[in-house]
Amino acid sequence: MTSKVVLDVSGHIATITVNNPPMNPLDMDVMGGLKDAFDSLLLEEDIRAVILTGEGKSFIAGADIKELKKWTPETSLYLNGKGQQLVNIIELFPCPVIAAVNGYALGGGLEIAMGCDIRILSSRAKVGLPEAKLGIIPGYGGTVRLPKCVSLGMAKKMIFTAAHITAEEALRIGLAEEVTEPEMLMKRAREMAEEIAKNAPLSVRAVKRLINDGRGRSVEENLRAELEEAKGCYASHDSDIGIDAFINKEEPVFFCN
Residues taking part in catalysis: 111, 131
- Alpha-carbon distances, residue 15 vs 25, 117, 204 (angstroms): 19, 15, 18
Over the range 199-227, which residues count as b (16 or more CB within 10 Å of their CB) and which as e?
Answer: bbbbbbbbebebeeeeeeeeeeebeebee
Question: Residues 91, 112: contact at Cβ < 8 Å?
Answer: no
CB proximity list for 29: less than 8 A, separation 6 or greater? 2, 4, 5, 20
Strand residues in 142-223 grouped as ranges (E): 165-166, 178-180
- Alpha-carbon distances, residue 78 vs 28, 37, 198 (angstroms): 12, 21, 40
Phi, psi of 226 (to 5 degrees): -60, -40
3-state SS class at 123: coil
Give the span between the Cα atoms of 251 and 256, in whole angstroms: 16
